C-alpha cells in the first residue's frame, strides 16, 4: 500500500469480488432468450446491499452482457450472420467464460475470439483432398459429434457448414487485421527496382489479406433475412482482398487468376509466379493472362497491396 492509503474492510472487498463474479457469469439462454436469473445471485452479495437490490443487479448483469454481445457482433458481422445472432451469442458466452474482459476497451476482448473459434473448428475438421481446395459442406455439429470428447461442446449446436463458418470468420479476421495494421506508404518503383522486378519477391502490405469465399459473404444490411447456405452458395468462388488505406479498410473481389497471382507472389519471385501461372493456364490461356497482367499490376500497386520489393 502507498502512504496514506487505507485498506478497505473485508466486507467491501468480498462484495466487490461477488459483484465481479456475477458480471462474469453468462446469462441464461435455455428459454430462447438471454436473461439474468436473480434466484441464482450470490446470497452474500444480495445481503450486503441495502433494500432489495435484485432488480438493479439484474439490470447491470444484462446490460454488461448485451454490451459484450454487441461489440462481438460488430467485430464479427459475417460470422454472426451465418450462425444467427442467438447461436453466435452462445458461442461468444463460451469464449468469454474462458477469456473474460481484462481491459477498458471492449473491442480488445474480441481480438482473441477468431483464433479461439478457428482452433475449435480445426479440432473437428475432417481430412480434405490434397489435390484441391476441398470445400467441407458438412455441418459443424455433425463433425463435432463424430470427434467425440475432443470437440468443444459449443460446436455441437452449430448447424452451419464447416467451410462457410471458416470463410466468414476469415473475412471478419481480415478486417480486424487490416484495422490494426499500419498504413504503408504508396509505392512507385525506382529505376533500380524496375531493373530487378522479375527476379525479386514483391512485398505485400502489412494489412493485406486474401480470402476465398464459396458463399455470398459481402456485408449486408442489419435487417437482412436469415442466412440460407443453399440460397447463398455461389456458382464459383469469389476472392476477397482486404487492406488498410488512408480512408479506412477497403475490400475488393478479384477474379481467380488474379487471386492466384497475389497468393503465389507472397513467397515467390515474380518471374517464378508468372511461370507457374502460364503453366497452369496452358497455351490457350497464356495470351489472355498476359493481356490482363498490366491492369492487375496497376490495381495491386495503386490500392496499396504491393508496397515494394523484398531485400535481395
In percent, how much of the chain has pLDDT > 90?
Answer: 50
How many CB atoms neighbour CB 10 within 10 A? Answer: 8
Q: Is 268 a residue whose pLDDT tops 50?
A: yes
> What rounded mean pLDDT belongs to the chain?
85
Q: How far apart are CA 242 and CA 219, in angstroms?
A: 13
Query: What is the reported pLDDT for 2?
Result: 54
- How far, in whole angstroms, is CA 117 from its chain's centroid? 9
Q: Is 308 a residue whose pLDDT tops 80?
A: yes
Q: What is the mean pLDDT of residues 248-254?
A: 94
- Between 258 and 8, where is the model more confident? 258
Burial 114-134 (b: 16+ CB within 10 A, else e): beebeebbeebeeeeeeeeee
Strand partners, 211: 240
Residue 44, C-alpha cell as written in the block? 452474500
Q: How far apart are CA 139 and CA 150, in angstroms?
A: 17
In percent, how much of the chain has pLDDT > 70?
Answer: 86
Which pLDDT band holds residue 1 (cuts at 50, 70, 90)?
A: very low
Q: What is the mean pLDDT of residues 81-97?
A: 92
In this structure, the strands spanning 248-254 and 209-215 are unpaired
User: Structural domain boundaries of the chain?
Assistant: 10-126+133-157, 187-309
Q: What is the mean pLDDT of residues 29-41?
A: 74
The one-character DSSP state at 137 is: -
Q: What is each CA distance from 198 to 167, 247, 268, 300, in whole angstroms?
A: 32, 31, 10, 16
Task: Please say whether the beta carbons of 183 and 208 come within 8 A.
Answer: no
Task: Please say whether the beta carbons of 218 and 186 come within 8 A.
Answer: no
Query: What is the reported pLDDT for 294?
Result: 93
Three-state secondary-structure class, residue 68: helix
Q: What is the mean pLDDT of residues 132-137?
A: 79
Which pLDDT band holds residue 27 (cuts at 50, 70, 90)?
A: confident
Q: How far apart are CA 67 and CA 83, in angstroms?
A: 19
Q: Is 306 a residue whose pLDDT tops 90?
A: yes
Q: How far apart are CA 86 and CA 106, in angstroms?
A: 20
Looking at the domain covering 187-309, what would its CATH class be?
Answer: alpha beta
Q: What is the mean pLDDT of residues 207-224?
A: 84
Q: Is 130 a residue whose pLDDT tops 90?
A: no
Q: Is the pTM of this model over 0.85?
A: no
Strand partners, 252: 241
Amino acid at each position: 500500500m502507498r502512504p496514506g492509503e487505507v485498506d478497505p474492510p473485508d466486507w467491501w472487498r468480498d462484495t466487490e469480488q461477488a459483484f465481479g463474479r456475477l458480471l462474469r457469469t453468462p446469462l441464461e439462454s435455455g428459454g430462447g432468450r438471454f436473461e439474468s436469473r436473480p434466484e441464482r445471485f450470490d446470497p452474500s452479495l444480495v445481503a450486503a446491499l441495502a433494500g432489495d437490490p435484485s432488480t438493479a443487479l439484474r439490470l447491470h448483469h444484462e446490460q454488461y452482457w448485451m454490451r459484450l454481445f454487441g461489440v462481438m457482433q460488430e467485430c464479427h458481422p459475417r460470422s454472426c450472420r451465418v450462425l444467427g445472432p442467438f447461436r453466435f451469442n452462445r458461442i461468444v458466452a463460451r469464449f468469454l467464460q474462458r477469456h473474460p474482459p481484462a481491459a477498458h476497451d471492449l473491442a480488445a476482448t474480441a481480438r482473441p475470439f477468431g483464433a479461439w473459434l478457428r482452433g475449435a473448428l480445426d479440432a473437428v475438421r475432417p481430412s480434405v483432398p490434397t489435390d484441391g481446395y476441398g470445400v467441407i459442406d458438412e455441418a459443424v455439429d455433425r463433425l463435432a459429434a463424430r470427434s467425440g470428447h475432443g470437440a468443444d461442446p459449443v460446436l455441437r449446436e452449430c448447424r452451419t457448414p464447416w467451410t462457410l463458418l471458416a470463410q466468414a470468420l476469415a473475412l471478419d479476421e481480415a478486417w480486424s487485421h487490416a484495422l490494426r495494421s499500419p498504413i504503408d506508404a504508396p509505392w512507385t518503383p525506382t529505376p533500380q527496382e524496375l531493373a530487378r522486378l522479375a527476379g525479386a519477391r514483391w512485398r505485400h502490405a502489412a494489412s493485406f489479406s486474401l480470402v476465398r469465399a464459396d458463399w455470398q459473404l459481402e456485408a449486408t444490411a442489419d435487417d437482412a433475412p436469415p442466412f440460407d447456405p443453399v440460397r447463398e452458395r455461389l456458382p464459383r468462388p469469389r476472392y476477397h482482398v482486404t487492406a488498410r488505406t488512408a480512408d479506412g479498410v477497403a475490400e475488393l473481389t478479384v477474379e481467380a487468376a488474379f487471386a492466384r497471382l497475389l497468393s503465389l507472389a507472397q513467397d515467390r519471385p515474380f518471374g517464378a509466379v508468372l511461370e507457374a501461372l502460364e503453366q497452369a493456364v496452358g497455351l490457350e490461356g497464356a495470351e489472355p493472362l498476359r493481356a490482363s497482367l498490366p491492369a492487375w499490376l496497376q490495381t495491386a500497386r495503386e490500392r496499396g497491396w504491393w508496397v515494394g520489393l523484398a531485400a535481395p
